[in-house]
Each structure stands twice: as C-alpha cells, then as structure tokens.
C-alpha cells in the first residue's frame, strides 16, 4: 500500500480537519454528525476547512447532510471493493486520499468500524492515534490537537498530542459531542475520486451481513435508559428492567459487572469501555457508581439511582436517589408509570415521572 508522505509540524498541505463519515447506504452513524459539528469548531480555530470523507456508494446523497452540519467540503471516494465496508479497501482509500490532500486532523467515531479503520490507517500513515477521546481542543500556541481520554482505569484524564507526525488522528465515542442542528442550504465543495485499489492487498471477504435483530432500541437514540448492575443478581432479573424500559419507551443497559457476569450482551454496556450515552432520563438500578461507569452516563439530563446502600457513590451524581431494594422499588415504578399512562389516555404522551426522594 502506498504510504502518505510523512511530515512534521504542519508544514505545507491543505491542513483540513476531516471526519470519516460512517454509513451503511443512506444510514449515517450519528457519531459522524456529532464529529462534523466538533470538526467545524476545531477547523475554525485553525483557520481551515472542516471536511467530510465519504467512502463507498451513496456519497453524493450524504454530502448535502454533511454540509448542513458544518462541513465545507466532501471527499467522495467510490469504486468496486468499497461496498460493503471492508478494512483493507477502505484503509487504502483513506490513506490514498490523505496522502494527496494532507489533512492535519482525521476524526472517526469510536465504533467497531471506526476503530478498525482508524488503527489500520494510522499504521499506514505512520502517525499517532488516540482512541476513545472524550474531549478535543486546539492548543492555542502550537495549534496542535489536544486529545483527551480517560487513562489508568479512568482515574486520570490524559491529554495526548501528536507533535511530530501528521495527520493527527483520533476516535471519539458516540454521544460525547452534541449533534449539530442541520442548517439547510449550506453548500460546499465536492471532490470525487475513484481510486485504483490493490485487490491483492484485500485479505478479508465478507460472507454475510446479519443486521441487529431490530427489537432492541439503540442506546444512542434512547431518550430513556434503564441500566442494571450487579445488584440485579441474575440474568433473569433483567426482565424487570425490560418491563420498566418498555413502559417508558426506553432501552435497557448495564454496568460492566452485569456484562461480565454474562447477564446481558456487551453491546449494552455503558461506561469507559462501553458506550457513552446522554439520554433525558437514566435509571441506575443496583449500580454502585464506579468512576468507569460514570464516564459513560454522567451527561444524562436526569439520573435516578436505586440502591440499598445509602453510601453508594452513584448517589453523588443522581438527581433523584431512592435508597431501597430494587426488587421492591422497580415494580412500584412500573405500576406508577402504567397508572399515569392510563390516566393520560393510554398514549403515555403526557407522562411525567416523579420518583422518590430528591437528594
């Protein structure tokens, strides 16, 4: 694979801030839009353009939405081997594009696909990569990207720089940055290319694509999340949380302890090594509130904690704390939600949740 020219300290080149837009046909991973909003702010500070990189079919349809969210340019890369996503061809496409246009920053979502592509591309580009950032900013003097992420088990926040190589690359968890409001009518430059890819370098063949079952609400889109921890005591007890989530139109999530116990799938884990969520309402049921869990949910608008230990750290971040046995409290909550939905005419639209003792 052709390597990008290695250069140091920002000499020459276009110096744009790029976001690789993750998409499955017309469906864009929300983190890509979140990153375009952030890229626009970073690019403004650097006095350069923010640009979207859209690899695979359907790029033209996605350029408009990217412009409306703050990109000033869209690089569309199409051609055989680029659909569906596969590491090698996408890596070749991104590395070739970066070699030609020399962005100073490339951002990707810290999703399964983003992590895969970012690490492969950073290796080929011989540059650094900071994974799972929770904050990004620009050093006002050196104009370097300050990439902040939890380190040492979440006990410290490390700020990492890539001073000697470009592009500076980072992945960012979904939900860390707010999605920008689309401003219809904002246009931008389209730079389309059809690179010739080395098929001999393609070592992976996709045999089948099995989509999610579809009966689970994504944690990223959920307005209400009911999360359970070790206090649930067994996999079967998650049925209680599912019932509450169902009544509230929400999704079920978990702490790592519950995931490690095999009670629920790892896709449902919230926290430093799970997902970052920002629902309107987050229930923490039988979750102690370890710093690694808080890292993934403390941007929630309202946190309701149910725990039988009055000293549990989760109460420090809870807006409403209920000291009690979750096996007694949860059925009461479910009944109360049902009652209010019934009295609101069955549609639940006027449901207002008031629970427990405010801390």
What residues make contact with ligand FAD under the rule CB under 6 A? 153, 229-231, 255-258, 269, 271-274, 286-288, 290, 292-293, 296, 306-309, 312, 325-327
167: cis peptide before it, omega within 30°? yes
Shortest Å distance, C-beta 228 to ligand FAD: 8
φ/ψ region of 81 (left if φ > 0, alpha if ψ in -120 to 50, else beta) reads left
Give the residue with the Cβ less far from ligand FAD, 95 or 257.
257
Q: How far is the CB of 279 from ligand FAD (least distance, A)?
A: 16
Q: Which is nearer to ligand FAD, 195 or 271 (CB)?
A: 271
Task: Please say which residue, 56 or 274, places its beta carbon nearer to ligand FAD.
Answer: 274
Tally DSSP H helices, then E strands, for the chain. Answer: 9, 18
Smallest distance from the beta carbon of 265 to ligand FAD, in angstroms? 14
Are 337 and 248 within 8 A, CB to CB?
Answer: yes
The answer to whether 244 and 333 have CB atoms below 8 angstroms apart is yes
> Counting Cβ atoms within 10 Å, is residue 314 exposed (0-12), middle (13-18) or buried (19+)?
buried
Q: Among residues 96 and 289, whose Cβ is nearest to ligand FAD?
A: 289
∠281-283-151 over CA atoms, to 5°?
95
283/243 Cα distance (integer angstroms): 13
Closest CB 161 distance from ligand FAD, rounded Å: 23
Q: Which is nearer to ligand FAD, 104 or 134 (CB)?
A: 134
C-beta of 50 vs 241, nearer to ligand FAD: 241
Least separation in angstroms between CB 275 and ligand FAD:
8
318 SS3 class: coil
* Whether the Cβ atoms of residue 329 and residue 345 lie closer than 8 Å to each other: no
CB of 178 to ligand FAD, least distance (A): 21
């Amino acid at each position: 694979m052709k390597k990008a020219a290695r250069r140091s300290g920002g000499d020459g080149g276009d110096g744009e801030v790029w976001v690789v837009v993750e998409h499955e046909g017309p469906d864009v991973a929300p983190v890509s839009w979140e990153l375009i909003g952030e890229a626009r702010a970073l690019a403004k500070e650097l006095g350069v353009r923010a640009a979207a990189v859209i690899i695979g079919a359907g790029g033209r349809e996605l350029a408009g939405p990217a412009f409306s969210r703050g990109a000033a340019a869209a690089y569309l890369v199409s051609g055989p081997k680029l659909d569906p996503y596969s590491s090698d061809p996408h890596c070749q496409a991104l590395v070739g594009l970066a070699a030609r246009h020399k962005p100073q920053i490339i951002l990707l979502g810290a999703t399964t696909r983003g992590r895969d592509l970012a690490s492969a591309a950073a290796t080929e580009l011989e540059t650094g990569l900071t994974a799972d950032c929770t904050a990004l900013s620009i050093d006002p003097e050196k104009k370097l990207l300050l990439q902040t992420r939890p380190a040492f088990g979440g006990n410290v926040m490390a700020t990492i720089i890539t001073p000697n190589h470009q592009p500076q690359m980072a992945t960012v968890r979904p939900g860390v940055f707010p999605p920008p409001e689309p401003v219809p009518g904002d246009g931008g430059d389209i730079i389309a290319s059809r690179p010739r890819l080395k098929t001999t370098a393609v070592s992976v063949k996709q045999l089948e694509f099995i989509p999610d079952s579809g009966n689970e609400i994504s944690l990223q889109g959920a307005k209400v999340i009911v999360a359970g921890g070790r206090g649930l005591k067994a996999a079967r007890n998650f049925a209680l949380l599912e019932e509450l989530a169902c009544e509230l139109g929400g999704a079920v999530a978990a702490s790592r302890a519950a995931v490690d116990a095999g009670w629920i799938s790892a896709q449902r884990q919230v926290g430093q090594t799970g997902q970052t969520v920002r629902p309107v309402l987050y229930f923490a049921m039988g979750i102690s509130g370890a710093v690694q869990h808080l890292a993934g949910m403390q941007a929630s608008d309202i946190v309701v904690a149910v725990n039988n230990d009055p000293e549990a750290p989760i109460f420090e971040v809870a807006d409403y704390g209920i000291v009690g046995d979750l096996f007694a409290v949860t059925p009461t909550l479910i009944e109360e939600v049902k009652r209010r939905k019934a009295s609101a005419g069955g549609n639940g639209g006027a449901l207002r949740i008031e629970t427990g003792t405010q801390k």
